[in-house]
Amino acid sequence: MITTIEELRRWSQQQHHSQKRVGLVPTMGALHDGHLSLVKTANQYCDTVLVSIFVNPTQFGVNEDFHQYPRLLEDDLRLLQTVGSPEVFVPEITEMYPAGFDVSVHVGGVSQPFEGEIRPTHFDGVATVVLKLFLASGADIAFFGQKDFQQVCVIRKMVTDLNVPVEIVVCPIIREPDGLAMSSRNKYLSKSQRSQAVVLSQSLILAEQMIVGEKIQDAERVRKKIRSKIETAPDMNIDYIAIADPQTLHELTTINCDTVILVAAGIGTSRLIDNILITTTRS
Ligand code: AMP
């Protein structure tokens, strides 16, 4: 296990001297099958894989769950042994943000709507820590989950605009058997909340049926359907239902091109997000 940036740099140099392609899987720990699927994909693409486990304080807002976020390092290390025992980077906060740290990476455009409106400092924290991880690890390829669709848009934009020499690979959303997208935060849900949470993925399937099956192009109609499905869960408070262009995240009124539908809702003290990418025939 690597804990310092200096050690990580040395490790990365060794890998590159041995002509190895380095894959990076950034995580905040409390690992589940979603994270492990990223590691499995990284194993296929790369000669050597690094998983970072760091609950990044700068991506949490002041009233968010930074202190409650599950920290389960022993379990995480055990789980990683089931997927090829990748190298693990587990820095302390002071290692990533030493006293006097005073830089923030801000990505415009795609970071503004949806999550950006609700969590205004979130993506600056994400972009900053991910760039630090890219630089320190010397990763050739980094693996992210479609689960955090807007995060991928932000990271892609950062990589493009700053000419960061890291390839981004996006992996599909891994779900529980009933459809709920796996998330470290699902641990917070009570039994009743857990059973209500399934309406998010169900609403997205209904939307897909409308768009692909019934060829409905009116985004407002689709949005209403999603809303009424989510509202069948009495404790679910919708933050947003966005029907957008997957590249720009501009909202669509007519669905006649590739579309991403993003939903977010609060339940109790938890927040859940989910999304679906719908590929339509261009007209
Ligand atoms: P996190 O630990 O929540 O910051 O997530 C680390 C990485 O795992 C991110 O790239 C997430 O998008 C990805 N991830 C989280 N949940 C899932 C999931 N259910 N399926 C696929 N990837 C996921």
Alpha carbon of 55 to ligand 1 centroid (Å): 13
Atom 8 of ligand 1 has which residue's CA nearest to it? 35
* pLDDT of the residue at 189: 97
Q: Has residue 13 got a pLDDT over 80?
A: yes
Atom 11 of ligand 1 has which residue's CA nearest to it? 145
Atom 17 of ligand 1 has which residue's CA nearest to it? 34
Atom 13 of ligand 1 has which residue's CA nearest to it? 145
User: Per-residue pLDDT tens for 23-82?
Assistant: 999 999 999 999 999 999 999 999 999 999 999 999 999 999 999 999 999 999 999 999
Which entry of 16, 35, 67, 122 is annotated as an active-site residue? 35
> Which atom of ligand 1 lies nearest, measured to the CA of 148?
12
pLDDT confidence of 9, banded at 50, 70, 90? Answer: very high
Q: Has residue 283 got a pLDDT over 50?
A: no
> Which atom of ligand 1 lies nearest, measured to the CA of 182?
19
> Which atom of ligand 1 lies nearest, measured to the CA of 146?
12
* pLDDT of the residue at 277: 98
**Known catalytic residue at 122:** no
pLDDT confidence of 281, banded at 50, 70, 90? Answer: low
Pocket probe for ligand 1: among 38, 150, 274, the residue whose CB has the most ligand atoms within 8 Å is 38
pLDDT confidence of 280, banded at 50, 70, 90? Answer: confident
The set of protein residues with a Cβ atom below 6 angstroms from ligand 1 is 27-28, 34-35, 37-38, 144-145, 147-148, 171, 173-174, 181-184
**Residue 270, token pair as written in the block:** 């938890």
Over residues 189-210, the mean pLDDT reads 98
Alpha carbon of 169 to ligand 1 centroid (Å): 13
User: Per-residue pLDDT tens for 70-128?
Assistant: 999 999 999 999 999 999 999 999 999 999 999 999 999 999 999 999 999 999 999 99
Give the chain's mean pLDDT. 97
User: Per-residue pLDDT tens for 134-183?
Assistant: 999 999 999 999 999 999 999 999 999 999 999 999 999 999 999 999 99
Beta bridge partners of 53: 27
Alpha carbon of 147 to ligand 1 centroid (Å): 6
Pocket probe for ligand 1: among 144, 147, 176, the residue whose CB has the most ligand atoms within 8 Å is 147
Atom 18 of ligand 1 has which residue's CA nearest to it? 34
Alpha carbon of 218 to ligand 1 centroid (Å): 31
Q: Which domains does the chain have, with CATH numbers?
A: 5-171 (3.40.50.620), 184-275 (3.30.1300.10)
User: Per-residue pLDDT tens for 213-260?
Assistant: 999 999 999 999 999 999 999 999 999 999 999 999 999 999 999 999
> Which atom of ligand 1 lies nearest, measured to the CA of 31?
2
Does residue 182 contact residue 273 with C-beta atoms inside 8 Å?
A: no
